[in-house]
Amino acid sequence: MALLRAHELTKTFGSVRALDGVSFEIDEGITGLLGSNGAGKSTSLKLFLGLLDPDSGSAEVLGQEARNSPEVRTRIGYGPEHDCLPRNVSAAEFLAYMARISGLPRTAARLRASDVLRHVGLFEERYRPMETYSTGMKQRVKLAQALVHDPVIAFLDEPTAGLDPLGRREMLELIRRVGGEFGISIVISTHLMGDVERACDSVVVLDAGRLLRSGPVSGFTEETETLEVELLEGAEAVVAALRGRGLEPTVGTAGRRLTLEGVSGEDYDTLRDVIVDAGALLYRLAPARHSLADVFTSDADPATEEASS
Amino acid sequence: MSSRPAEVFDLGYRGYEGERTGRWARRDAIWRDGIRISLGLGRGVGAKVAPWLLLALALVPMVVLVVVAAFVGPATNPDDFELPSYADYYGWAMVPLALFAAVVAPLLICPDRSDRVLSLYAARPITPLDYVGARWAAFATVALAAAWAPEAVLFTWNVLDAEHPGSFLRDNWEVVPRFLAAGALVATVLTTLALLVSSFATRRAYASVAMLAVIFIGSAIGGIAEDNFSGGAADAVSLVGLPQATTDAVRWIFDDEVDRPVSGGVALLWLLGLTIVLAAWLVRRTNRLVRG
């Protein structure tokens, strides 16, 4: 059974149509809700949390419509994009409180708070007021409070916002751990394609309130029939030799990068021989991959296309 | 060397498989948090100063008066020292209680707004009504305790000081429900007004000033209407002065009416109606704030 199901979901704010008849399903694992600002990501999250009522269609979480059942939120976690932590309270106290209002008894709430803070790497600092925390630590507390009541699924809105590259990598690794080791499904709302490619199993791409595509991330980043070659020396000789053998490489502006379209297995052998014969210095040779960015530049009709198909 | 055998602990993630509490337990958690905030419990010394000082201001004078009465003895002529009546004490205690509401009640809502914690409440298995209801109940609990405690001290002293405590208790038992009702009225009005005003401010100081402005400007308008005009309209406007209207209603509850343009019973009805309207407004306002 899908954890989340949006069916013909439409939501307008005044004259702005935030979501326009969107349908998709999200299964277990880590899913990226990808789109630029105004794509409808936050609106989708609020509809799944039951904070907004759709104009038409339905947003089901664990088989229930969240707006009709606050109880379903005992199994949902949420980490918003913006700052949301009280300043003069310790992380341990805050998480225990969040656990209690999420339905855990008092003793269990305290134990879970400490346990989850240990898992996100804040065990030593758990009794410090949160106003003294760095941005990275605050992002970890936001993640921890979303997990403290052991939800089935957690929504994280821009979880790497404001983090430096190292902090961003650590946060994405932590999210991978939550999705794998903890067994808690995650939905990341983000406009960063790199975050989705690094952390997510599947992706739902929204654009201007419409569904562009959805499916496994691997389906978006599979290899193409284009070969990319980078040479440190002897590029001109290689290009000439390839043309002599009937191949038409595209040469990059620096003259060192070659691209070969529609290559087959035999072409790899040809290329190898040409490079050896020309005495060229090979730096890189790899098939090109599709990227999530292609989704936004594709001319294909988005509404009906499934990346997984 | 320890004889205890070595143990290997699994520090991996463990899901929660215990019981999950119902909605009342979640409301109870918010209520307890509200009590702690109201009294500065679990916070630094600075957070405790204002609430405890103002609570002491409401309670200590009565304790001092009772101690003085114990030393002075019963009054034998009109110039002797006398303890205040139950209604009189509320007339005085309105000031520290209103200050307490203005200074402390904003702490229950303003930081949640300014720190944007409300979005987290919204994602939890509670409704906006659960949130504001529990916050209201928390502050009302503290305000009730502050309103009842001095009256309880006075009543206890009167019982102990009586020649025959048993018969005094039998003859005056109706004072207890009266001071409970009067305290409930004072606490309810102040709590509802203070939380509603707080819901419009993100900074505690602004909420405090706004609450005091509502009380003082209302009192001024009520006083001007009462002193300078006559007739039904002026009497109605005089009710805008909430401290005076509350004192009148309290006197009516104690069957201690004095000559006022509007009877205490009418003042009581006005306060109850006003509180219901303010409470409905507070719920509506919180609904908007929590659901963003």
Q: What is the pLDDT of residue B43?
A: 81
**What is the distance in angstroms between the CA of the first residue and the CA of the last residue of chain B?**
61
Interface probe with A: pick from B48, B115, B126, most Cβ of A within 10 Å: B115
Whether B116 sits inside 8 A of A71 (CB atoms) is: no
Give the nearest partner residue to B120 out of A88, A105, A145, using CB atoms. A145
Q: How far is CA B186 from CA A137, B88, B90, in A?
A: 44, 14, 9
Q: What is the ipTM of this complex?
A: 0.86
Retrieve residue B249's tokens.
């209603």
- pTM as predicted: 0.84
Closest listed residue to residue B109, CA positions, set B32, B185, B37: B37
Is residue A182 within 8 A of residue A147, CB to CB? The reply is yes
Cα distance between residue A262 and residue A288, in whole Å: 11
Give the nearest partner residue to A87 out of B15, B115, B123, using CB atoms. B115
Residues of chain A with Cβ-Cβ distance to B119 below 8 Å are: 78, 80, 82, 84
Q: What is the pLDDT of residue B258?
A: 72
Q: What is the pLDDT of residue A183?
A: 92
**Residues in B 149-208 with any Cβ partner in A closer than 8 A:** none
Cα distance between residue A175 and residue A190, in whole Å: 13
Interface probe with A: pick from B17, B20, B131, most Cβ of A within 10 Å: B20
Residue A183's φ and ψ, nearest 5 degrees, are: 75, 20
Q: Where are the domains of chain A?
A: 4-219, 223-289
pLDDT confidence tier of residue A184, bands split at 50, 70 and 90: very high
Who wins on pLDDT, B209 or B65? Answer: B209
| DSSP letters spanning A118-148 | HHTT-STTTTSBGGG--HHHHHHHHHHHHHT
Is residue A104 within 8 A of residue A115, CB to CB? The reply is no
Tell me the shortest Cα–Cα distance from B5 to chain A, in angstroms.
Answer: 25
Helix (H) / strand (E) element for A215: namely strand A210-216
Q: Which fold has domain A4-219?
A: Rossmann fold (3.40.50)
pLDDT tens per residue across span B46-66: 889 988 988 888 888 888 888
Q: What is the pLDDT of residue B10?
A: 65
SS3 letters for A238-272?
A: HHHHHHHCCCCCEECCCCCEEEECCCCHHHHHHHH
pLDDT tens per residue across span A191-235: 998 899 899 999 999 999 999 989 998 888 777 888 889 999 888
Is residue A32 within 8 A of residue A200, CB to CB? The reply is yes
**Residues in B 35-94 with any Cβ partner in A closer than 8 A:** 42-44, 47
Whether B125 sits inside 8 A of A100 (CB atoms) is: no
Tell me the shortest Cα–Cα distance from B208 to chain A, in angstroms.
Answer: 20
Retrieve residue A42's tokens.
């936050």
Is residue B291 within 8 A of residue B122, CB to CB? The reply is yes
Residues of chain A with Cβ-Cβ distance to B21 below 8 Å are: 100, 103-105
Is residue B241 within 8 A of residue B153, CB to CB? The reply is no
Q: Give, in words, the CATH class of A223-289.
A: alpha beta
